[in-house]
Amino acid sequence: MSLSLSRRGFLQASTLGMAAAGIGLPLVTGTASAQLPPRDAAMDAADAVLLNYNENPHGPFPEAAQAAISMIARSGRYLFEGQQELGGLFASQNGLKPDSVAVYAGSGVAIDAAALAFTSARGGLVIPDPTFEAVADMAERHGARVSRVPLLADASHDVDTMAGIDPDAGLIYVCNPNNPTGSVTTRAQIERLLARKPKDAILLIDEAYIHFSDTPDCLDMVAAGKDVVVLRTFSKIYGMAGLRLGLAAARPDLLKQMAAFGINSMPVPTVAAGLASLRHPEHLAERKAANIKARQTTIDWLTAHGYHCMPSEANCFMVDVKGDGKAFAAKLAQQHVFVGRSWPILPQYMRVTVGTEAEMLRFRQAFAQVMAG
């Protein structure tokens, strides 16, 4: 029996399996593909350049890939101890207690759990705009109001407005660096938001892209017992998007509230890959440097051609295409270069994931052809 399966075919086939495993995709017979992002068959082409989902083109660390493979034979058991070891290792590396870290099948599951735990018909959600909207989608689905606050001129969070816009807010979402802009909100701004937020509100600080940035993280706020939940993912710099692994760090009482809405045993190979990743931090600087080089080369090229880009410290950036961003992206797709979408508040911008240097060269070539056409 052939084991060959295209990327598109794998995603479609795996939807049902992931749903049955309880990691956040609804199991709806006949409509499973509707739960996934729209897909162009050309994305499976041999020459396709995928700069659309903020994935890492380099994949897992070599040690992580080998660790995952080596644990497949033992995957007939739950092996909870590995999951506990992973949370404990992250805690010890970051000055936290083990009971302040929970392991999730990707930080998206933790985001959903936080939305369900800390928002309600009375307690609203406050988010920057634009940002990663998963938390708003979940909050709205269970009856919470959502207050969207536009970013400041430098693309940082408007923390003063976010702190006061909803006196009954239950959750305030901070994405730092922000997705889709890649922009940074300073530590001083986050501290001001924490000090001025409504008394009962929890700050959900999503640090999915923190390893690409020079900005300080907020894990020490967890150690100090503040009203914060800090999220991390292995999908970005660690290159494990398809393995689904994330962490939530918070006071134990906050993690307990979240656990009621979405936590389970983890896939054994994924946990092994996560442990190996944390044990080999020497790869982080190399990957960060490669990302900066490829990103800045492309931003400099776009700027030289008169296209404004927002400042970014992530593996993505936003470029103003001086017209309909969605239409521009569609023209790039005709050349098998796929970029991210536009946001309603910034319809002339499109998000571009940072790929390899060769992939970014292809992007520039395709962009030039669209400009010329």
What local confidence, expressed as pLDDT, does residue 35 receive? Answer: 67
pLDDT in tens, 292-302: 999 999 999 99
Do 258 and 300 reside in the same domain of the chain? no
Based on the domain organization, do 77 and 16 belong to the same domain?
A: no
Would you say 371 and 305 are in contact if contact means Cβ atoms under 8 Å apart? Answer: yes
Q: What is the CATH number of the domain that holds 287?
A: 3.90.1150.10
Of 49 and 33, the one with more pLDDT: 49
Residues 265 and 198 in one domain: yes
Whether residue 257 sits in one domain with residue 293: no
Structural domain that includes position 23? 8-39
**Domain boundary pick from 227, 253, 278:** 278
Could you give phi then psi for residue 171, rounded to 5 degrees? -145, 135
Domain end position, chosen among 256, 278, 300 = 278
**Distance from first CA to last CA of the chain, Å, rounded?**
47
Residue 67 lies in a domain: no
* Low-confidence winner among 30-44, 100-114, 293-307, 338-352 (lowest mean pLDDT): 30-44
Assign residue 232 the CATH number of its domain. Answer: 3.40.640.10
All residues at 6 or more sequence positions from 203 whose CB lies less than 8 Å from its CB, including other chains: 172, 174, 190, 193, 194, 197, 226, 227, 228, 229
Residues 289, 236 share a domain: no
Which of 278, 309, 341 is the C-terminal boundary of a domain?
A: 278
**Together in a domain, 215 and 351:** no
Is 349 contained in some domain? yes
Give how far Cα 367 sits from Cα of 62, 280, 339, Å. Answer: 33, 37, 11
Q: Which amino acid is at 365?
A: Q
Residue 24 above 60 pLDDT?
no
Lowest mean pLDDT among 4-8, 79-83, 149-153, 352-356: 4-8
Tell me the pTM: 0.90
Rounded distance between C-alpha atoms, residue 103 and residue 106, angstroms: 8
Q: Model confidence at 38, in pLDDT bands (50, 70, 90)?
A: confident
Least confident of 2-11, 16-25, 260-269, 347-356: 16-25
Lowest-pLDDT choice from 100-104, 236-240, 258-262: 258-262
pLDDT at 32 over 80: no
Confidence check: pLDDT of 22 > 80:
no
Same domain, 209 and 340: no
319 touches 352 (CB < 8 A): yes
Question: How far is 101 from 84, CA to CA, in rounded Å?
Answer: 9
Confidence at residue 314, expressed as pLDDT on a 0 to 100 scale: 98
Are residue 331 and residue 365 in the same domain, yes or no? yes
Q: What is the average pLDDT across 257-265?
A: 88
pLDDT of 258 higher than 80: yes
Residues 250 and 361 reside in one and the same domain:
no
Asked whether residue 100 falls in the same domain as residue 130, the answer is: yes
Residue 229 has pLDDT above 90, yes or no: yes
Same-domain pairing of 233 and 267: yes
Q: Is the peptide bond before 177 cis (omega within 30 degrees of 0)?
A: yes
Residues 23 and 54 in one domain: no
pLDDT digits (tens, 9 = 90+) for 75-114: 999 999 999 999 999 999 999 999 999 999 999 999 999 9
| CA atoms within a 13 Å half-sphere pointing along the CA-CB vector of 294 | 26
Q: What's the structural domain count of the chain?
A: 3
Return the pLDDT at 40: 81
Is 66 inside a domain boundary? no
